Amino acid sequence: MNQDRKQRLDNIFEAFSIIAEGKYVYVCDLHDDLSRWSQSAVDYFDLPGIYMYAAGDIWAEHVHPEDRESYSKSIENIFSGAESSHDMQYRALAKDGNYVVCTCRGVVVRDANGEPEFFAGAIQNHSIHSYMDTVTGLRSLYGFFEDLKALFWKQEEGCIMLIGPNNFSNVNDIYGYTFGNSVLRTLGNFLHTEFSNLGAVYRMDGTKFAVISHSLTAEKMKEVYQNIQRKAAHDFHVDSERLSLPLNAGIVKMDSFDISTETIYCCLKYAYYESKNRKLGDAVIFANALTEDNRLHIEKLNVIRNSVAENCRGFFLCYQPIMDANTEELKGMEALIRWKDESYGTVPPVQFIPVLEQDALFPELGRWILRRAMEEGKRLLQFYPDLVMNVNLSYEQLETNTFVEEVLQMLRETGFPPHNLCLEITERCKILDISLLKNMFKLFRENGIKVALDDFGTGFSSLGILREVPVDTIKIDREYVKDVERSKSDQSTVQFISNLADAYSAEVCVEGVETSQMRDCLKQFRVSSFQGYYYSKPITMDEFLKKYTKPEEVG
């Protein structure tokens, strides 16, 4: 096929893609029988590629045998010129071996002389989730991703906002779920009106909505949100009820297209939860959500996210020692994730973990960290048989019902002793069902695995978790000891947590010990261990071995 005809094929394909509304697009050059198909169709049905010769015959092999004759007859009529359109429903074989119901519509595109030149159309896969939300009538989460992909394809700059009500469960509890759906429908209509001619509104998962705008800047979108926020709080009516509906919102600016839609959605959710958990509902623009020193560019996050999908390429662990508070001898170590590549250098976890926690890929990284810590930690156990390896967990890992067995399986496969492992959780785990958490950690402790409550006191739920979940160690966050030599309130806080830990038969580890003065001050309290830069910054396992073993021992 010459390049001019191929360019025309591509142009028609792109034109059909714009109006396809989430369907698979196909365009066939009737002269050369070369077709171009949507990548999503290629992936879903395991087709040879987006460009195919004799695609009609290839596709016929996917059509159910009982539907194949009528399909083939219709395609034959298109190529012979007997018909100028195609509209039929049939079953097609997907990659997973199951047949799905499809509706296929196509038309013949004629040249200037009226001769058939191209056959173009779209296939609707009815097994895929609906692109319309039945409650609000808006485009759904799946429609959102389709339109976001189109924005990437056309490389159009714009802004995306994730918006939703706070504590919506209260509405359902007071008024019931039927009224709750009415509230969501009213909110959807309200957003649609407010963003009329400014952007498209979508119903996302749960009670959240999204907006994609090609015309608004991030700051302008924030202004529109502030107006919406005021109205929702003071002048929001559903049926005969007047409600106050507090909102949260996160905003991401779209000005780079060499990234994935999944990365954008991660950033969007991160900004949304910053609005909800830290900013009392004020809209958070992603670029401003991190401090100036640690600003995370979306492009960097995209590279890091892709690294997780590529067997955690570029990730490595550093280890910070945990010292016995009385003897100041090595007692344990905490595994801390890092990432490095030639373009960005070494990136600390504060720049990617909070955002990646919003991603479905995150548990995969968590599993990698656990396994690598066990594998590398075994190198030290011959010198320190009682040394404890601390590994941080996220609530995303804990919410999977196979997590306990995954940990036990890793211990068996690596040969790492369970009694040398300590799993750290934070107060963020409050969002999980507390009975689930209690049973999970009961199983861990029955198998000899220790549990630590990290960053104690930084959130409102730490005490509640301590009451419900048995832990071996409470770790006092560095924020509570940074002025401990001079601050009576810091000293009282350490004393209180120490007494609390004693009541629950737990040890106390103080993080952020930076100086000998801090160490000496903290020794007056019931503290079991110290961790901080006074002893060592986080270092690689090879550096750790050099620092805490004799050369002849390592050799």
Domain 3-125: CATH superfamily, name plus number: PAS domain (3.30.450.20)
How many Å apart are CA 456 and CA 226, to the nearest integer? Answer: 35
What's the CA gap between 497 and 456, in Å, rounded?
9
- pLDDT computed for residue 219 by the predictor: 93
Within 10 Å of residue 103's Cβ, how many Cβ atoms? Answer: 14
Residue 292: what pLDDT? Answer: 39
| DSSP tag of 119 | E
| Residues β-bridged to residue 160 | 212, 252
541 DSSP 8-state letter? H
Q: Which numeric CATH code is attached to 361-548? A: 3.20.20.450
Start and end residues for every CATH 3.30.70.270 domain found in the chain: 141-288
Per-10-residue mean pLDDT, the chain, length 555: 80 79 86 91 93 94 90 89 84 89 86 88 77 82 84 81 90 83 92 87 92 91 95 88 91 80 88 90 76 54 86 94 95 95 85 80 90 95 95 82 91 97 78 74 92 73 70 89 89 90 90 93 92 95 91 55
Res 209: pLDDT: 97
Query: What pLDDT does residue 242 have?
Result: 87
Q: Which ranges in the chain are annotated with CATH 3.20.20.450?
A: 361-548
pLDDT of residue 320: 97
Neighbour tally for 395: CB within 10 Å: 15
Report pLDDT for 277.
84
- Give span(s): CATH 3.30.450.20, the chain: 3-125
Residue 162, number of CB atoms within 10 A of its CB: 27
Token duo for residue 480: 């509570």
Classify domain 141-288 by CATH number. 3.30.70.270
Q: What share of the chain is helix, strand, coil (3-state, %, to 5)?
A: 45, 25, 30
